[in-house]
Structure 1
Amino acid sequence: MADHSFSDGVPSDSVEAAKNASNTEKLTDQVMQNPRVLAALQERLDNVPHTPSSYIETLPKAVKRRINALKQLQVRCAHIEAKFYEEVHDLERKYAALYQPLFDKRREFITGDVEPTDAESEWHSENEEEEKLAGDMKNKVVITEKEAATAEEPNPKGIPEFWFTIFRNVDMLSELVQEYDEPILKHLQDIKVKFSDPGQPMSFVLEFHFEPNDYFTNSVLTKTYKMKSEPDKADPFSFEGPEIVDCDGCTIDWKKGKNVTVKTIKKKQKHKGRGTVRTITKQVPNESFFNFFNPLKASGDGESLDEDSEFTLASDFEIGHFFRERIVPRAVLYFTGEAIEDDDNFEEGEEGEEEELEGDEEGEDEDDAEINPKKEPSQPAECKQQ
């Protein structure tokens, strides 16, 4: 028979457990009074992520029900926004027709088909007074030399290599151009944007007009970008306006031996049985700007593209949008480089503004203990609709 010891009617193992529990409680109290331990615990609590979704999960069912109602309203707002962008597209089409006569005249000046009048050629630059003064002084000193130089100065037709110069100036485009593309692009005379007709699915076409050349017989190469302006049924809250969803190129009718989008390579093959070796030639794809007209197709059968294909397609869409929104409307400024300088200054301004805001935040942290009631709240920075 087992021997159970008792102390005042209480089993000895129960007494031992009570002592251990008491000792643990005392140890816990001592640990919790340690400032370092408390600081470590507080740091861990501060680092626990408090996400909006975790907060929503804590709300009562009645509140969640009302939030769902708000989401229903948000979906309806997205559909109204889609209609807004459809009307914007109609306005773009309307004003494109108003721009076109000016763009047609631009082409005539570039190609040299029409010479601008003195009134059309007059332009006042920002440094006009300084330039005039310097010019007058130079004329007084070297008037004879200048007259001789003017007489000998060449007068080419139009503005040579206008569009090709734009390609070289814009990094996004120059990265696509290979050395063997350059002679072809020098024949580019105009780039036009045409919007889809009323009632047709939203799209736009880039037209690249070439003069007769030794490379292909096409006078116009086209690239069509198809757009969508409706919320995605699976993710309606991601809608931010029209997006390019696919694009189609065109067939380039290359003259014999002039196709720069392929290259011919020689490859040796060894016969497995006889061991003889023969040399064969085959054509393989070649890097070229003109691959722009043979684009990768967006997957329409539910299959996802690989990461490289997704990147290529996104880059293509970005280039098409850049032609439409920036290059074609402001071509002369990209030719002179002024638009590129404006773009660079805008980007630098954004970075500077961000650094300034960060400095303000640091200053506010230091002044928390001493708040100035007369200090006006900072005004929000102006935002622009992209």
Structure 2
Amino acid sequence: MLINEILGEEIQERDEEALKYLKDIKWCRIDDPKGFKLEFFFDTNPFFKNSVLAKTYHIDEEDEPILEKAIGTEIDWCRGKCLTQNVLKKKPKKGSKNTKPITIVEDCESFFKFFSPTEGPNDDKEIDDKLAEQLMEQIQKDYDIAFTIRDNIIPHAVSWFTTEASQDEYYKAILEDDEDEEDYNDYEEEQNYQDDGN
């Protein structure tokens, strides 16, 4: 997951230890309502109690696919292990009557925020254009991550694990940019030579 361009941007250094407990990722189509579901299976770990984290996408496919709703699993974090928040303790100001440290909880970037998606603009609630645009960008980003996992990571998991997929992506990009087939043919010959046990 780390070497995929889209997912690599989402996974923070602090997420990596928790993701070592990830055993498998599966997806299935759902019919009522139409859409699909991603399931992440985890071994017992010190970060959260869930064995499966799921994300379900409801999609309207009448004319073209439109995301209607995304529902994620609520993560049951172990005490002090939440990766989507930073807990900061600040000393009170000098001269303050309060002598105890002040605890501040801040949201922070984490791959695990994927399971609590941003809701789209609500017709009942007025929001300004800038905020609506930000929400739509976040929803699109969430959608892109889901399709990357479903269509790219899951079917080619072994290739990503062995880093072969990233090398193939690199050489295909060279072909698209330079239209130079010789580089890719040399790469394929080298791969075939290695596959033959030489």
TM-score range, shorter chain: 0.7 to 0.9
Q: Does 1:183 align with 2:9?
A: no
Deviation digits for residues 164-191 of structure 1 (CA, Å, limit 9, x no counterpart): xxx2221211211222211110000000
Q: Which runs of 5+ in 2 are unaligned?
A: 180-198
SS of equivalent residue, structure 1 residue 255: coil
Question: Are residues 1:310 and 2:136 paired?
Answer: yes
Match of 2:117 among 269, 282, 295: 295
Q: Is the 8 A contact 2:27 2:38 kept in 1?
A: yes
| 1:228-239 correspondence to structure 2 within 5 Å | 228-231=60-63
Q: Given residue 44 of structure 2, which amino acid in structure 1 is its aligned partner?
A: P
Deviation at 1:267, TM superposition (A): 4.4
State the Cα deviation string for residues 101-126 of structure 1 (Å, max 9, x = none).
xxxxxxxxxxxxxxxxxxxxxxxxxx
Write the distance in 1 (CA, Å) between the matches of 2:49 and 2:160: 28
Report deviation, 1:338.
Answer: 2.0
Distance in 2 between the 1:316 and 1:257 partners?
26
- Say whether residues 1:218 and 2:38 are aligned partners: no
User: Alpha-carbon deviations, 1:1-33, whole Å to 9, x = none?
Assistant: xxxxxxxxxxxxxxxxxxxxxxxxxxxxxxxxx
TM-score (norm 2): 0.78
- The CA deviation string for residues 195-254 of structure 1, in whole angstroms up to 9 with x for no partner, is 103xx12111110000111111100001111211123xxxxxxxxx32334311111111
| Corresponding letter in the other structure for 1:189 | K
2:15, 2:97 → 1: CA distance? 36
Within-5 A mapping of 1:258-337? 258-267=81-90, 276=96, 278=98, 279-301=101-123, 305-337=131-163
Cα 1:181–1:247 change in 2 (3 A) is: same
Tell me which of 54, 79, 87 is aligned to 1:256: 79
CA-to-aligned-CA distance 1:144-173 (integer Å, 9 cap, x gap):
xxxxxxxxxxxxxxxxxxxxxxx2221211
- Deviation of the 1:266 alpha carbon: 3.0
Hey, what's the Cα distance between the residues in 1 that align with 2:150 and 2:34?
A: 14
1:182 maps to amino acid: E
For residue 281 of structure 1, give the secondary structure of its aligned residue in structure 2. strand
Q: Which residue of 2 aligns with 1:343?
A: 169
Shift of 1:255: 1.0
* Local SS of the residue matching 2:77: coil
Instruction: Measure the CA separation in 2 of the matches of 1:306 and 1:269.
Output: 37
CA contact (8 A) 1:222 1:293 kept: yes
Any stretches of 5+ residues in structure 1 without a counterpart?
1-166, 232-240, 354-386
SS at match of 1:203: strand
- State the alpha-carbon separation in 1 of the partners of residues 50 and 74 from structure 2: 9
Q: How many angstroms apart in 2 are the aligned matches of 1:292 and 1:252?
A: 11
Amino acid in the other structure paired with 2:96: T
2:187 equivalent in structure 1? none
How much does 1:319 deviate?
A: 0.6
**Is the alpha carbon distance of 1:216 and 1:223 closer, same or farther for their aligned partners in structure 2, counting shifts above 3 Å?**
same
| 1:306–1:268 distance in 2 versus 1, CA, 3 Å | farther
Question: Which of structures 1 and 2 has the larger relative contact order (alpha carbons within 8 angstroms, sep 6+)?
Answer: 2
Preserved contact between residue 268 and residue 277 of structure 1 (Cα < 8 Å): no
User: 1:263 Cα deviation (Å)?
Assistant: 1.3
Q: 1:90 — aligned with what?
A: none
**Count of residues paired in the alignment:** 173
Q: CA deviation at 1:325?
A: 0.7
| Match 2:35 to one of 180, 203, 224 | 203
1:310 CA drift (Å): 2.2
Match of 2:194 in 1: none
Provide the C-alpha distance between the structure 2 equivalents of 1:345 and 1:228, rounded to a whole number of angstroms. Answer: 36
Of structures 1 and 2, the larger Rg is shown by: 1
What is the SS of the residue equivalent to 1:299? Answer: coil
Partner of 1:227 in structure 2? 59
Identity of aligned residues (%): 40
Q: Could you say which structure has the higher helix fraction?
A: 1
